[in-house]
Chain A
Amino acid sequence: GNSVTQMEGPVTLSEEAFLTINCTYTATGYPSLFWYVQYPGEGLQLLLKATKADDKGSNKGFEATYRKETTSFHLEKGSVQVSDSAVYFCALGEGFNKFYFGSGTKLNVKP
């Protein structure tokens, strides 16, 4: 079946540090992969996505590459800001908006 595993948090970084949040998946077929972000008090928002192997999704300085050979979709950002503090969810999409989410990784960025 489909599942997503992402690194446990919380992750605490200083401003301008490099961020990596690991995500691996198990899937039947060829799913699309997503990163969602939840800021405090808000709903989940789509951060980026990739629809096929070797695609790179990017948005707001964040990037993730769909690696079929390692079944991974790690999230990276070169220089985090305090405003990036949030919970990040890796997800695998099946069919019509049916997602399998990871358990979320809380990121705290300190000034």
Chain B
Amino acid sequence: EAGVTQFPSHSVIEKGQTVTLRCDPISGHDNLYWYRRVMGKEIKFLLHFVKESKQDESGMPNNRFLAERTGGTYSTLKVQPAELEDSGVYFCASSRAGNEKLFFGSGTQLSVL
């Protein structure tokens, strides 16, 4: 079966611009998660969708970040306007149920210059 797919794999933008990251979970996986790793430090939880609903968005850093999952399939994470400290690797992950094995995508490397 196809894995979790993230687009783009790399994005380089200037401070103040807008970037949208996309995640396609494994088909049939209702649970979708966003994580990010900033400055080579720990990977931090951002939020969790169950189908199209936000189950937990306690990790979202501020209101410049907007995550959506219309229709409960793919998800997008928009950063507007991007700041230098947003640079890092953004990982998406999915699971069939909330307590089942989590499958990660290979991440989007975001560089804000």
Residues of A within 8 A of B (CB): 4, 36, 41-46, 89, 95-104
Contacts and interface: CB of A to CB of B under 8 A. Distances in A.
Contacts of B48: 96-98
A43 to B, nearest CB: 4
B16 interface: no
A100 B45 CA distance: 7
B40 interface: yes
Interface stretch (B69-77, B79-87, B94-102): B94-102
Given A103-B41, A104-B40, A96 B104 contact: no
Contact of B56 (A36, A44, A98, A104): A98
Contacts of B25: none
Contacts of A43: 3-4, 91, 93, 103-107
Range, interface on chain B: 20 to 34
B64 interface: no
Contacts of B56: 95, 98
B4 A99 contact: no
B15 to A, nearest CB: 25
B99 A97 contact: yes
A41 B31 CA distance: 24
Interface of B: 3-4, 31, 33, 35, 37, 40-45, 48, 55-56, 91, 93, 95, 98-99, 101-107
Minimum-distance CB pairs A-B, first 6 = A96-B98, A43-B104, A101-B43, A44-B104, A43-B106, A103-B42
Nearest to A49: B101
A58 B90 CA distance: 28
30 contacts: A41-B106, A43-B4, A43-B91, A43-B93, A43-B105, A44-B91, A44-B93, A46-B101, A89-B43, A95-B98, A96-B48, A96-B55, A97-B31, A97-B48, A97-B93, A97-B95, A97-B98, A97-B99, A97-B102, A98-B33, A99-B35, A99-B43, A99-B45, A99-B102, A100-B45, A101-B42, A101-B43, A103-B41, A104-B37, A104-B40
